[in-house]
Amino acid sequence: MTKEEWNKLVRDICNQKIKPKLRKIHRKYHPFEWVESFHFHDRGIYKATRTIKFIDDNFDDEDDLTRVFNKEFLDNTLDSIRWGAEHNNRLVLKTGISDVVEEFWEEIVDGMDISDIPEADFEALKEAGSTDPKGEIHVSMVRIKKRKKSIRYNSKESSVRYSLKKSETVIERKKEVLKECNSNNPPTKRKIFKGLGGICRGAILTGVDIGLIAGLWPVPLSPDTKTVGAVASITTGIGDIMIAVGELRRE
């Protein structure tokens, strides 16, 4: 498939499969409620991601996090990540967008590359603390392409749905681990935050790009940005979450 053919396919997937699902949801809400349902109107997930990046840069796996943070702050950070995961699932699971991405998973992943990603995503990750958002997304795309088959299939159910639902459980488990920590069993980077960066990045990307498809971005954008680019980015975000959940499940 040429790049031009891929662009047309993804554009058609967006227009014929994803937009009608969003229109059904849109009709159920007052316009203000609809606008407020997107990540870029709540910055908790962005702040949590900045915290995780600080911890990644300054702590080894087994370092005691309470040398810098108290447990209340760490718990609030996990709450922000949990809200982001729950909200992401409302946007992609309950709307059925995740089912569309799953149906065309290999076709979308095969053709997507960093040039497809909207500038809005780079800006969002920059706000979330990334010093090289393009490089960060590029690495995610390469990882997803290398594992495109293994991260999609699950023996019991769709790995897409399973992983997205499981992301909430993962965070709840981290909160329970934190609650049990004390001076003799301190909270460490590995115990509390390992794997959560991918969940945060995935939630941010999907939130931003469903907003693009829904026409809620405050500046004019090209048609391909709101279709092809947004679908590539949503797929990357879902892939980030699936990889993170899969790695945590194997621990």
| % the chain with pLDDT above 70 | 87
Distance CA 64, CA 67 (A): 6
pLDDT of 147 above 90 = no
Taking residues 150-176, what's their average pLDDT? Answer: 78
- 9-18, 131-140, 155-164, 202-211, range with the lowest pLDDT: 155-164
pLDDT value of position 29 = 52
pLDDT of 158 above 60 = no
pTM above the 0.85 mark?
A: yes
pLDDT of 2 above 70 = yes
What amino acid is encoded at 88 in this protein? N
Q: Band of the pLDDT at 159, cuts 50, 70, 90? A: confident
Q: Band of the pLDDT at 116, cuts 50, 70, 90? A: very high
Q: Strand, helix or coil at 185?
A: strand
pLDDT of 30 above 50 = no
pLDDT value of position 36 = 55
pLDDT in tens, 86-111: 888 888 988 899 999 999 999 999 99
Distance CA 165, CA 145 (A): 22
pLDDT in tens, 35-72: 555 544 457 899 999 999 999 999 999 999 999 999 99
pLDDT in tens, 224-241: 999 999 999 999 999 999
User: 226: which DSSP letter?
Assistant: I
**Region at 136 (left for phi over 0; alpha for psi -120 to 50; beta for the rest):** alpha
pLDDT in tens, 174-186: 999 999 999 899 9
- The set of residues, in sequence order, having a beta carbon less than 8 Å from that of 168 and lying 6+ positions away, is 82, 85, 86, 89
List the domain boundaries for the chain: 3-249
pLDDT value of position 132 = 96
pLDDT value of position 183 = 87
- 133-142, 164-173, 218-227, range with the lowest pLDDT: 218-227
Measuring CA to CA, how many Å separate 6 from each of 13, 206, 223? 10, 20, 15
